[in-house]
Amino acid sequence: MRTIQVFTAGVALAVAAAGCAQQPRLEAAAEAMGAGGLTSIQYSGSGTQYAFGQAYEPGGRWPRFVAKTYTVAVDYQTPAMRLEMLRAQGEDPPRGGGAQPFARDVRTIQVVSGKFAWTEGGAQPAPNPGAVSDRLRALWVTPHGIVKAAMAGGAAADEAGVVNLTVEGRQVKATLNEQNQVARVEYLSSNSVVGDYPVEITYSDYAQFGDIMFPRRIVEKQDGFDTLDITVTDVQPNAGVSLPVPDNVAKATAPPETPTVQIEKVGSGLWSLNAANTRSLAVEFRDHIVMLEGPTSDARSAAVNEMVRKTIANKPIRYVVNTHAHYDHAGGLRQYVAEGITVITHESNKAFFEKVWARPRTLEPDALSKAPEPPVIETVADKRVLTDGTQTVELYYQKGNGHHTGTLIAWLPRERILMYGDAYNPPPGDEIRTPDRGPEYAIQLVELVEQQLKLNPVRIAPVHGRVVPYQNLKIAFGISGTN
């Protein structure tokens, strides 16, 4: 297999120079699709979008959302791309993650331009330096982008219409149909929970739009489940696409390789740790430490654990408690396994973790894949109490939770602090309400805590948000109750 590396500038110029050296099938694809004279494009439609890594049950399909509008603008010369999507609630009742339940439609705008990436929609654009490669790869695997990239790099189509090339460090396989149109693009991606996983994009139902042919149906699968299904209704070849880099994005400094950790004592023998925009709790027992949640990534877990050991000297971390198996909450668990620390999770998550942690990790090897150790996983059915007579953590199963079927919450009775994964994410500053989120999951949590468990929390310690009064959760959604 011959592979090439796509350089992210001057692709359109390279196409003309390299075109005469290509094999006929790839040249025929460029001609049939109108790729040669295409310098930019904008296309739009609607359909469905699914939240990767946020399944309702371990190993299940991704939760569905309605993509009311889906618009992509591409400049192949810079290169640059802007994706804007307006999403609405798709699961009724809400099931799974992906920032649901929605109280109103949610607009997402993601942009890449050259070596910069950012998100729009806030007070000012938010730099996303870690997303540059993924978004540039998304640009080059568009129907005309993959043809341009292949021709610019000197790739060729074989007799079966298969083209192999390298795009942003990943091996990509494109397949042409009998009409020499791009029918499918495949490559591997990587995630800290599941390791290597396949991405497959299919393009079908081509139609004429001006001087080009473009698919009216785009379907994407990640790790075997749909993540996108769009019906294209409008295509504008050589549209005026200009995506200048905002000043604050251009001037933003690169994030450190090791996440910065902020630690705050929030109770007797209890610390809150904020790193990579997620929080966990360190609970000090007489002769060991229990970590509540290992989210985001192994790099975050390593940095947090180092800070904990500096703060609480001469006591080992014995357990890490996982609230549920969504990838943002389980992304740092493998670092704990690599350090010989026992994972505690709900019993329904155990087989899933054992299965996915055994998968290959060739793209992004981690500490555990470099020095494999069998995971030690202990489970909770309905309740488990960790105590040494002075410090106590009570773990409860949240049966019937709409966010995830294997959800645990943690209760620290001495401090009257409730720790959980998802339901209410307190915003920064003095604001309490989160107008984009519906109340369903918060109501489920309050009913469990007050009506079933008869707990009386004073504060909450959510993974997505700082420690705040428990009443903030109820005020945010107008929930009445016993507390």
Which amino acid type is present at position 413?
P
How high is the pLDDT of residue 15?
39
Q: How far apart are CA 356 and CA 298, in angstroms?
A: 15
Q: Which CATH class is domain 11-251?
A: mainly beta
Tallying the residues shown for the chain, one arrives at 483
- State pLDDT tens for residues 2-57: 344 444 444 433 433 333 444 489 999 999 999 999 999 999 999 999 999 999 99
Side-chain-facing half-sphere of 331: CA atoms under 13 Å: 18
Q: How far apart are CA 112 and CA 119, in angstroms?
A: 9
The two domains 11-251 and 262-477 share their CATH topology (first three levels equal): no
Which amino acid type is present at position 53?
G
pLDDT along the chain (483 residues), means of 10: 42 39 78 97 98 98 98 98 98 96 97 98 95 98 98 94 97 98 98 98 98 98 98 98 97 92 98 97 98 98 98 97 98 98 98 98 97 97 96 97 98 98 94 95 98 98 97 96 65
- State pLDDT tens for residues 313-337: 999 999 999 999 999 999 999 999 9
Among 221, 225, 204, CA closest to 213: 204
Domain locations in the chain? 11-251, 262-477
Maximal CA-CA distance, the chain: 79
How high is the pLDDT of residue 109?
98
Q: How far apart are CA 356 and CA 224, in angstroms?
A: 14
Q: Please state which architecture CATH assigns to domain 262-477.
A: 4-Layer Sandwich (3.60)
How high is the pLDDT of residue 482?
63
Give Cα separations from 164 to 186, 220, 474 (angstroms).
Answer: 10, 19, 54
Q: Exposed, middle or buried by CB within 10 Å (0-12, 13-18, 19+), for 454?
A: exposed
